Amino acid sequence: MSDRHRLRRTADIARVRRRGRRVACPYFVLFVAPGSAESTRLAVTAPRRLGTAVARNRMRRRLRAAFQPHLTTPQPVVDMVAQARPPARDAPWACLGRAVAQSVARARAAHAPSLA
């Protein structure tokens, strides 16, 4: 994932969590807010209660890879924060990809007028 698609600043992540729309699925919670950059950006978080650093890093890498195709679509520019949930640790790749696609579609379709 390129740097221009990463949401890095703590203040930006807090803004998306505080003001963003929330879409939940078994594998993660997705927060979506209007973006301030020229491209859609993503941050993936994994709380410490989800396991060791190795397990959390693996979950973050898998979620970033699953979101990758949805970051370059020519839709409204948004900032997204995905917070991993425990089932993401052992989720099959196909299920994770399907959940990401459905969550992104729901978030953008339900709130497209307010994000445009």
Q: What is the pTM of this model?
A: 0.84
The reported pLDDT for the residue numbered 57 is: 93
Rounded distance, CA 93 to CA 63, Å?
10
Residue 115 lies in a domain: no
Residue 112 lies in a domain: no
Confidence of residue 105 (pLDDT cuts 50, 70, 90): confident
The reported pLDDT for the residue numbered 116 is: 44
Coil, helix or strand for 80? strand
Residue 85 lies in a domain: yes
Average pLDDT, the chain: 84
Residue 71 lies in a domain: yes
Residue 30 near residue 23, CB atoms below 8 Å: yes
Each residue of 46-81: pLDDT tens digit? 999 999 999 999 999 999 999 888 887 766 778 889
Confidence of residue 85 (pLDDT cuts 50, 70, 90): very high
CATH code assigned at 70: 3.30.230.10
The whole-number average pLDDT for the span 82-90 is: 90
DSSP 12-55: HHHHHHHHSEEEE-SSEEEEEEE-SSSS-EEEEE--GGG--HHH
Domain of 89, in residue numbers: 3-106
Residue 111 lies in a domain: no
Number of structural domains in the chain: 1
Residue 52 lies in a domain: yes
